[in-house]
Every structure is written in structure tokens, then in C-alpha cells.
Amino acid sequence: MVKPEAVLSREEILRRTELFIREQLAGDSSGHDWWHIARVRASAMVIGRAENADMYVVELAALLHDVADWKFHGGDDSAGPKAARAWLESLAVEGEAIDQVCEIIATISFKGAKVATPMHTLEGRVVQDADRLDAIGAVGIARTFAYGGHAGQAMHDPTLAAEAHATFADYKSKRTTTINHFHEKLLLKDRMNTTAGRRLAEARHAFMETFLRQFDNEWNGRS
Ligand code: NI
């Protein structure tokens, strides 16, 4: 018979979850590696404290928000919440926290610039902001090129116009380039949920605009 384990402290649950995720994402080269998770957690802690969020839910959700992305799960949006629920239940995390974390994971993935993904809780808005911050700025630029290479996309092709996708299906199916992705990312600044997140997004947004201007100048032999 399996002896029931003693109730784990929140610190221990967070520690084991971090180890679990580090192991799951080891070797990922698509831009959703462990260091993405570590950066999202760091930003989420800063934003969450500023916004008086429940930091336990924020940290768990930040750690688990891409739990199923490493496989790209064949487009199955429910793979992430399912994997997170199984993991948290195995640690006997209280049901309410599991529900909150899983709802955040189900809602968070980027589905195209025009597809709204409203978060119902403050904790969700915090983690979503932290995830969006990692898509912009210097790190966002590096991740976009890393992902483009992984997906076999051209870096830039002036004949393929940038477009904001109206549906998730559209976003998944259209051929595009890495530079075109930037134009969708430039819309993120105005979609930040929280005051703290918006403030952090400003500088990263400005840096990306500078980068794009310089890229365009070099592409056209102007500098
Ligand atoms: Ni993410």
C-alpha cells in the first residue's frame, strides 16, 4: 500500500514544480525553454507584488504556463491545463489553486494579434503581462529569430506583407517571416493588463521600434 505523503509546504510545492519544469523543457530550442519560464516568473513576481496579487498562484502559473508547449502538442489547446492539473494533483495542491492555475494556462497562449484572450483573474492578468513582456524588447527580438529558425521561416521577405490575424486558425496556417512577426508584437504594448506591466512594456517597445528602423535602414543600404 502507498503511504500517503505528508502535506507539502508551499515552498516545497514550488521547488518541486520548478524541478519538474526544468526537466520537461530541457533541450528546447524554440524559445520556450526553461530560461523563458525563469524570466516570466521574475517579471510576474515584480508585477504581482506591485498589483497585490496572490503570489502563490502567480508563481505556480508562471512556472507551468508553457508546460505542454515543448511538444507543440499538435495544436491541442487542452494539453497544457491537463498536464498542469495532473502535476498539481500529484502534489495534493488545494483544488481552488489548481483551478485558478489551470484557467490561466488555458487562456494564456498567443492566438494572433486580433484574437482577444481576456483573463478573468488578477493573477491571470499578471502572468499574461509577464509572458507578453518576454515577447518584446531585446529578449523578444532574440526569441523571435530563434523561433523563426526553428520553424524554418525566412528572416525577412519584403514581398510578404505583415498582417494581423483575425482568427487563431489563420495565425497558425499563414506563411510569414520573422520580421513580420514583429509587427504583431508591436501591438502588445497596448494590450498589457496591469499598470506595472504597461510601465515595463514601454522601454521594451521603444527598443524594438529602434531595432526595426535600423534593420530597415540596413536592408535598404541606408546605413
Ligand atoms: Ni510563455
Interval 15-64: pLDDT, tens: 999 999 999 888 766 667 899 999 999 999 999 999 999 999 999 999 99
Mean pLDDT rounded to a whole number for the chain: 87
Ligand 1 centroid, distance to 3 Cα (angstroms)? 36
Mean pLDDT confidence for 179-190: 85
Ligand 1 centroid, distance to 68 Cα (angstroms)? 11
Ligand 1 centroid, distance to 166 Cα (angstroms)? 21
For 195, other C-beta atoms within 10 Å of its C-beta total 12
Distance CA 17, CA 62 (A): 11
Using left for φ > 0, alpha for ψ between -120 and 50, and beta otherwise, residue 137 falls in left
Q: What whole-number percentage of the chain has pLDDT above 70?
A: 82
Ligand 1 centroid, distance to 102 Cα (angstroms)? 14
Instruction: Let me know how long the chain is.
Output: 223
Give CA 104 to chain center in angstroms: 11
Ligand 1 centroid, distance to 1 Cα (angstroms)? 39
Task: Give me the pLDDT at residue 166, please.
Answer: 63
Ligand 1 centroid, distance to 223 Cα (angstroms)? 35
Domains, the chain: 10-219 (1.10.3210.50)
